[in-house]
Amino acid sequence: MKTRTVEQIFAPNPPHYVGDGFRVHNFIPSVPQLSMRRMDPFIMMDYNSKFYFPPSETPRGVGVHPHRGFETVTIAYNGKVAHHDSSGGGGIIGQGEVQWMTAARGVLHKEYHEESFSKTGGDFQMVQLWVNLPAKHKMDPPKYQAITRESMKKVSLPNNAGHVEIISGKFENETGSASTFSPVHLQNAHLNPEGEVTFSFPANFNTGILVIDGNVEIENSKLPTNHFALLRNDGESFTIRALEKSIVLVLSGEPLDEPIAAQGPFVMNTQQEILQAIWDYNNGKFGELS
């Protein structure tokens, strides 16, 4: 099995706000080397690095907005967020939990800091990924998956190296609880100092690593906190070694290799489908949400 090597390491872009509750660094697709095509099926990644929000009686967040053609995956590392959508999905996710929303043919949704978290304030740290849907599933019914701490699959690593949380896909003999429309691996490695873990994915799968906390080394390349590593499609396996106690998000997916037409909150295959999405949204086809 050939070793996969590091293509490039990226520092976080300057942050910007999404609404008033999410202070994010965008990696995909605003970094030119991390385009939607290069990272396919991952078409967007916003990273809210650890940031303290002071107490507020009015929860910060993002108001009602539409999506069509893809899935949103929100991974909570610190803080709590409340989600509601027009298909009836929703809930609260806190530290160590994930919400996986399939927008598909169209939903309205909103996301806010959870009420009690908003009132007390605290550190807030999350990742939101957009995962593209295959053309044949873009107009499927919406759905919502809540992955709680209790349902999260975990694999302990040998030699007290730490453990791996499996959101989707496989690690060793365990499979994550999230269902996907194409092969998508999302996993959090929690590593103790000097702990090592080896991942292996097919060479054609587009693969990246985000350091949530700590500092790690990947095949002799140093990767500090809040940095993203793009791996080449030149092998299958790679090893991450923690230089201190660390948390690392690993994402790897099989490219769909389909046309991508994207405009704002809509990601389809043709410009005509984008125009149809806009028409449907303007004519109330995405349901109602107040």
pLDDT in tens, 183-220: 999 999 999 999 999 999 999 999 999 999 999 999 88
pLDDT at 66: 96
Mean pLDDT value across the chain: 96
| 3-class DSSP string for 185-252 | EEEEEEECCCCEEEEECCCCCEEEEEEEECCEEECCEEECCCCEEEECCCCCEEEEEECCCEEEEEEE
CA pair distance 255, 46, nearest whole angstrom: 20
- Average pLDDT of 225-253? 98
**Is residue 51 pLDDT above 90, yes or no?**
yes
pLDDT at 85: 87
Residue 282: band (very low, low, confident or very high) from pLDDT cuts 50, 70, 90: very high
The residues facing 157 across adjacent strands are 162
Q: How many CB atoms lie within 10 A of CB 110?
A: 18
6-272: CATH topology is: Jelly Rolls (2.60.120)
- Average pLDDT of 50-61? 97
pLDDT > 70: what percent of the chain? 100
CA pair distance 12, 26, nearest whole angstrom: 7
pLDDT at 144: 93
pLDDT at 22: 97
pLDDT at 89: 83
Residue 289: band (very low, low, confident or very high) from pLDDT cuts 50, 70, 90: confident
pLDDT in tens, 93-135: 999 999 999 999 999 999 999 999 999 999 999 999 999 999 9
pLDDT at 265: 96
Instruction: Spell out the domain ranges in the chain.
Output: 6-272
- Average pLDDT of 147-166? 96
pLDDT at 213: 98
Q: What is the DSSP string of 240-289?
A: EEESSSEEEEEEEE-------EEETTEEESSHHHHHHHHHHHHTTTT---
pLDDT in tens, 18-49: 999 999 999 999 999 999 999 999 999 999 99
Query: What DSSP state is assigned to residue 89?
Result: -
* Amino acid letter, residue 181: F
